Amino acid sequence: QTVVTQEPSFSVSPGGTVTLTCGLSSGSVSTSYYPSWYQQTPGQAPRTLIYNTNTRSSGVPDRFSGSILGNKAALTITGAQADDESDYYCVLYIATGISVFGGGTKLTVL
């Protein structure tokens, strides 16, 4: 069973930079997993931020960026703002038609 790992929580100061990661319990994440990232604030539907590792979805500010760092996918938020305080989920496409979510990272901006 494929397990996608994320930090349970993270905090960043307003204006600061934070990098959230997305790994595999067994193995390395590469672009072949087409990592994607989603933001969800309480009571709201998720919003697509990044797909295919580093492509920003329409309307997403360029302070959100995606990459591969070492053996993990990464989401970097540069110049964090108060309304970035959300849950962030990564997804890996692990086989034809099969996607796996990470457990999510709760980001606090304070």
Partner 1 sequence: EVQVVESGGGLAQPGGSLRLSCAASGFTFASFAMSWVRQAPGKGLEWVSTIGRGGDTYYADSVKGRFTISRDNSKNTLYLQMHSLGAEDTAIYYCVKRGIYYFHFWGQGTLVTVSS
| Structure-token pair, residue 72 | 């993990």
Dig out the tokens for 105 from the structure.
Answer: 């990272």
With contact defined as beta carbons under 8 Å apart, do 77 and 63 qualify? yes
Which one among 36, 65, 77, 86 touches partner 1, defined by CB under 8 A? 36
- With tokens 């849950």, the residue in question is 87
How many angstroms separate the CA atoms of 13 and 29, rounded?
Answer: 28
**Interacting span for partner 1 (CB under 8 A) from 12-20, 61-69, 71-79, 97-105:** 97-105
For the record, the structure tokens of 85 come out as 């305080």
Per-residue binding string, partner 1, 47-76, x by CB under 8 A, is xx--xx----x-------------------
Chain residues that interact with partner 1, rule: CB under 8 A: 1, 34, 36, 38, 40, 45-48, 51-52, 57, 87, 89, 91, 93, 96-104
